[in-house]
Structure 1
Amino acid sequence: MRQMSTILSFDTPGRGFTDITAAMVGWLEASGIRDGLITLLCRHTSASLLIQENAAREVRTDLAAWLDRLAPEGDHYVHDDEGPDDMPAHLRATLTGVNLQVPVIAGRLALGTWQGIYLAEHRRSAHRRQVAVHLIGE
């Protein structure tokens, strides 16, 4: 059994979903591990990770609109240290989660046909985000 880990950085353009699937596939291929489990952790409290539809962009548009309705910006939050999008970003990260696990089978992520791995940026402005990655397998 072998293990590997790293921290990958991604630039986000602001609120939205950045597809990081290709980066995960590249890192996995370079590892040489064929079967195992990859774990991802977003190292931030106002961004998150999710596996979602990778073909129809409208899915991500609708998801963003849904999150806006669940955690709208406004002056009704006590925590607003970094502006009106601060607390809603924390709530959205709570709803979507900061970690993922994906099986690795025959050297490939065991994602479904229409699934991709996304880094969700919940703040309005661009950020450089870190994702810790751990892979265990053979």
Structure 2
Amino acid sequence: MSDVFTTRILRVVTGSKETVTDLTRDCEEFLQQAARGKDGLLNVFVPHATAGIAVLETGAGSDNDLLATLHTLLPADDRWQHRHGSPGHGRDHVLPALVPPHATLPVVGGRLELGTWQSVCLVDTNKDNVDRQVRLSFLG
């Protein structure tokens, strides 16, 4: 049975364009305080119907490739039945089916166990909502 459960809310401003925001450093800083050298799990959750969490390489173009792929799969046009907000906003509500709103990651010795090029990212295609919350929870 775990003896540690700690949670924190990050506030992230994503701006008025589609974004992939790297949260890895925020996750690591949270674990320094929350995990205190213990093994466990980090859950990253975004409580929004139009954003997701992805684990991917950033900085080498993969983040832009992801946004381009999502734009191809989910074009911002008038095909969507969900029609409030900016044109094509309905596609933002489909995003979490492709990029889920959560990720659960291993923590070993208080450190996030990611692969060499992996980062934890907030994926946000919704230009109408620039203020996001991300919940980080450690169970160890």
Taking structure 2 as the reference length, the TM-score comes to: 0.90
Aligned to 2:39: 35
Secondary structure at the aligned position of 2:85 is classed as: coil
Stretches of structure 1 lacking an aligned partner (at least 5 in a row): none
Q: Identity of paired residues, percent? A: 29
Q: 1:93 is matched with which residue?
A: 96
Rounded Cα–Cα distance in structure 1 between residues aligned with 2:88 and 2:30: 33
Match among 116, 120, 125 for residue 122 of structure 1 = 125
Which consecutive segments of 4 or more residues in structure 1 shift more than 6 A? none
Name the amino acid aligned to 2:57: E
Compare the two structures and name the one with the higher strand fraction.
Answer: 1
CA 98–3 in structure 1, closer or farther in 2 if over 3 Å, else same:
same
Moved more, 123-132 or 103-112: 123-132
- Partner of residue 26 from structure 1, selected from 29, 35, 40: 29
**Alignment partner, residue 51 of structure 1:** 55
* Corresponding residue of 1:9: 11
Partner secondary structure for residue 96 of structure 2: helix
When normalised by structure 1's length, the TM-score is: 0.91
Matched residue pairs, number? 136
Taking only aligned residues, the RMSD between alpha carbons, in angstroms, comes to 1.4
